[in-house]
Amino acid sequence: MKRFSLAFAAAAGVLSMLSAGSALAQDVLIRGAEIHTLSSQGTMTNADVLVRGGKIERVARDLAAPAGVTVVEAKGRPLTPGLFGGLSAIGVDEVSLERATIDSGLSVGAEQLKDAQWRPEFDVTLAYNPHSVLVPVARIEGLTWTVLAPNSVKGGSFVAGQGAAVVLDGRYDALLEGSRSLFVTLRSGGKTSPGGSRAAQYMLFEQAIQEARATPAERFRALLLPAGREAIARYLAGGRVVLAVDRAADIRRAVAFARAAGMKPVVAGGAEAWMVADELARADVPVLLDPLDNLPDDFDSL
C-alpha cells in the first residue's frame, strides 16, 4: 500500500502543478518512474514522461528536459494514468452525517409533490465546490476525474436529475464538455414514487416522456413543470441516460426502453450485467461497475 501511496502522491503533486495555471505548470518532465502505461508499451521501468501544454507529449527513457520545463524526480516510484472516481458526490457532499453539507439530492416535501412530482431539471453540478476538502484528498489517492451523480432521495422521484463529469484539479470550470447525463434509478431502491412497482416506474417514465413531447396546446401539468419538460426533451434527442439497475431482466428492459425513447443508455450498478454481457457489448452499452459493491444488499443483487 505504501508503494502505491507514494506513486499517487507523486502524481498528485504533478497534477497540482498542472492546475496552478502558470506557464511552467503546463510543461513538466517526470523522470525515472515505473510507468504503468496501460497500453501496448506495458510497464516501463526507469522511464520518463514529458508533459507539454498540459498534455502528454512523450513516454520514453532518457528524455532530455527542454528549456523551461519543470523536472520531477520520481526515483523509481510507480506512475499511473489518472484514475476515474466513478459516480460520486466529491465536491458536492462534505460530511455524510451532516445534512447541511449534503447537496447531491433534491428533497421534495408532500406539499411540493402536489404541484410537481418530478424535477429532472435538478442539476447537481451547480453545487460543485472545486475547493472542497475532499478534492485534494481524491487527487492524493490518484483520482483525477469523477462523474457527479444526483441521488434519488426518499420523497423524491426515481428520476434523480442531471450530473456530469468533472476534473479534480481545483479549477472552477471543471465540467467536461459533452458529459452531461440524466440519472434514473430503476432498481428496487428507486421505488420512491407513487406506484411502488417496477411496472409503475416505466408507466410514469413513459408519461413524463409524453409530456415532454407534447405540443404547447396539448401540454398539461401532471408530472413535470415547464423546465422539467425541456430537460427531458433534450435527452430524448440523443442525450445520455445513466440507468441504476441490477437485475439482468431489468437491464435488458431499461436499455430497450431508453433506446426506444431516443436516449443513449449507460448501466450503473449492473450486478447481473455479466449475464447479458454479450448483448450489452453488441449494443455498445457502457456499464459502470463498483468493485467494492461485492455483497448483495437487496433482492436485486442476490
Average pLDDT along the chain, 302 residues, taken 10 residues at a time = 37 42 66 93 94 90 92 94 93 89 75 63 96 94 94 74 96 95 83 69 92 81 88 96 95 97 96 96 95 84 83
Give the C-alpha separation, 195 to 250, whole Å. 17
Cell 510543461 sits on residue: 27
Residue 204 has a CB neighbour count (10 Å cut-off) of: 20
Amino acid at 17: M
pLDDT at 59: 94
DSSP 297: -
Give the C-alpha separation, 8 to 184, whole Å. 33
- DSSP β-bridge partners for residue 167: 145
Q: Nearest Cα to 188, choosing from 264, 90, 301? A: 301
- DSSP β-bridge partners for residue 71: 29
pLDDT at 301: 83
- DSSP β-bridge partners for residue 60: 48
pLDDT at 15: 42
pLDDT at 287: 97
